[in-house]
Amino acid sequence: MNSYSGSYLSTTTTYYETGHPRGEYGIFVSNAKGPGSLVHTYGNDMADAAYYIGACPDCNAVLDDAHGQGSALGYSGTNSGGRLIIQNSEFDHNKTGFSTNSQNNDDAPSPQTGICPTGLVGPLGNNSCWVFRNNFVHDNNNADVPSAGSADLGPPGTGVVISGGSHDTVVDNRFEGNGSWAVLIVPFIDSGPPPPVANCAGGLKDLPLFGIGSCFFISSTNEITGNTFTDNGGFGNVTNGDLGDLGSGNPGNCWHGNTDTAGSITSAPIDLQTTNAVCGQKGNTAALIGSDLTRQVQCATEIFGPCLPGVGTYPRGGDVHLLPLPAQATMPDPCAGVPTNPWCPATPVTTVTSTSTTSTTTPGGTEAPVAEPAKASPQLTG
């Protein structure tokens, strides 16, 4: 698919039962070259993601004024990179608010990288054209959501997860009330045999730790800057807070200019905005194996099995509670100011009384005399 656009779209599901058909995605875009635009949209109650844009190394798309709720993931983007902007949107009351990742699956080609196409430098001039900006990400602590497949591995209580991604920019957003981590950067591990279309491009293949057929994607060169944080890390496990970085690449991820309304930014490892403030350097990130953050991410996701006793406490899915579809802002009247046509007929809007005729104004702005008895009362018609 090439160019596309959509606006004033609402997607929801009203039924979920384990083992039965379910709504897995709300608004779904795959293998599209763009340019693409999704504006003024809503999605909830999805077993995978309320929004999905994936399988596009240069998506050339904008997601603007989106609202994703009540889903395993408010947004999922697998192997989606290049020019992709997510802005002015809200992600709340999901298990995980927003997730973008590399994966060695049928959403080829991998990896997920926001590096700009040749000749472009990106909105911030940092060679990143994948930008998450001016969004509100809050209260993503809901484990009682529909779930399916790998989306079920999303860490509950997390605002934004970059998993195996690179050259992504997270800037000028608000993160509030996410119980685990507001922003978490981790590697992505595919352990199963891949489909024929996938070849572990951009990843490390067959690492002994994960076995034959595995593909390991490093997260590196992401920039997290200028964001505001409030009351994150409420689950209270060690490392829970504003920022978490398990990136192991060189260059590493960089974190700077972020603020917490209560005072100091909380992070794991500690002082990320000191040790990893400068972009383009390796920095001092958490050890991949054996760190507190690694144990906590494993406990939250249960990717390698149940959480070990005493390591941490995270909400687990119980009875699914579907969110009702809230009233949405409707699109403007498409007939306002438009001449009369088959789609906008000359339906009377108001009448003005005179002694002999009434001047009737139509949506197209024309006037026509309408016979009416003298001294009739003003009325609304049509």
pLDDT digits (tens, 9 = 90+) for 77-134: 999 999 999 999 999 999 999 999 999 999 999 999 999 999 999 999 999 999 999 9
Asked if residues 218 and 164 have their Cβ atoms less than 8 Å apart, the reply is: yes
pLDDT of residue 60: 98
AA letter at 211: G
Cα(87)–Cα(171) distance, integer angstroms: 10
**What number of H helices and E strands is found in the chain?**
2, 27
Q: What's the rounded mean pLDDT across residues 302-314?
A: 91
Cα(152)–Cα(165) distance, integer angstroms: 19
Q: Which residues pair with 168 in a beta bridge?
A: 130
| DSSP H stretches of helix in 228-362 | 272-275, 292-301
pLDDT of residue 204: 94
AA letter at 238: V
DSSP letters for 96-115: EEEEEE--SSSSPSP--B-B
pLDDT of residue 37: 98
User: Coil, strand, or helix at residue 43?
Assistant: strand
pLDDT band at 247, cuts 50/70/90? Answer: confident
pLDDT digits (tens, 9 = 90+) for 11-46: 999 888 877 878 999 999 999 999 999 999 999 999
Cα(37)–Cα(318) distance, integer angstroms: 36
DSSP letters for 280-315: TS---PPPTTT-HHHHHHHHHH-TTSSPPTTT----
Cα(197)–Cα(318) distance, integer angstroms: 36
Closest CA to 329 of 75, 90, 49: 90
Burial 336-375 (b: 16+ CB within 10 A, else e): eeeeeeeebebebeebebeeeebebebbbeeeeeeebeee
Asked if residues 114 and 165 have their Cβ atoms less than 8 Å apart, the reply is: yes
Which residue is listed with tokens 């572990």?
Answer: 200
